[in-house]
Structure 1
Amino acid sequence: MEERKYLATWKKYLPIIRLHLKKSLTEDQNFKLNITDFESAGDRGKSGYTFSLTIENGKVINNISSSGVARDLFETLKSDEVVKSIFQDKSIKIAVGKTFVLSIKTTHISAYK
């Protein structure tokens, strides 16, 4: 398993991600990441930095094992108490595409599943 190269980069972004997570409760959020922050942490080459991360009730429900960038983001998020409280009873999809825009879409999980 690869070392946690992107933890420091995600920790730097944590305050802005926390803000956008709160705002995502009412509307989808998008913001541009600085690609050089990630390139200096580790070169992903052709595979790039794109990923999709789906979290329900604070647990990852899709396979992110092949994406160190996604794994380190989740590691950073779950270590933050404010973010952990936002995760409760919600489904949150976080994705980064080829244009290096991080998007956050949050939906409430129905108690009547």
Structure 2
Amino acid sequence: MTTEGIEAVFLETHNWGKAAKFFQGLGYELEFSTDHNSGQLRNGDGPYVFIAEVPRDKEPEMRLVLKVPDADAFSPAAGTEGVTPFEDTHYGTREMTVRDPDGRLWSLQAPARQ
């Protein structure tokens, strides 16, 4: 089984409020926010953008999240370096991290087990 395209863009920021307003100015609608300076925005049927505030001493990162329909049926191709196996998240999905040949990290996201 392979991935099914981009599920999300995960962004870190030093200012959740400013970042959310920036994306709202680009036509994204806030789907939800949390009580710890993060939230999810979406524009139409495309991938969602999840933004999380990080401390000033941490360099903000960005990561593309690829969609996997079933974590239990997923098997990365030969030569794919797994960094972490699929694990349950606190937000109701399962995620795995892989590294590409240039050292970039990619998140793979699947629905939670039913």
Q: Which has the higher contact order (CA 8 A, sep 6+)?
A: 1
The alignment's TM-score, normalised by the length of structure 2, stands at 0.29
The alignment's TM-score, normalised by the length of structure 1, stands at 0.29
> As a proportion of its length, which structure holds more strand?
2
Q: Whose Rg is larger?
A: 2
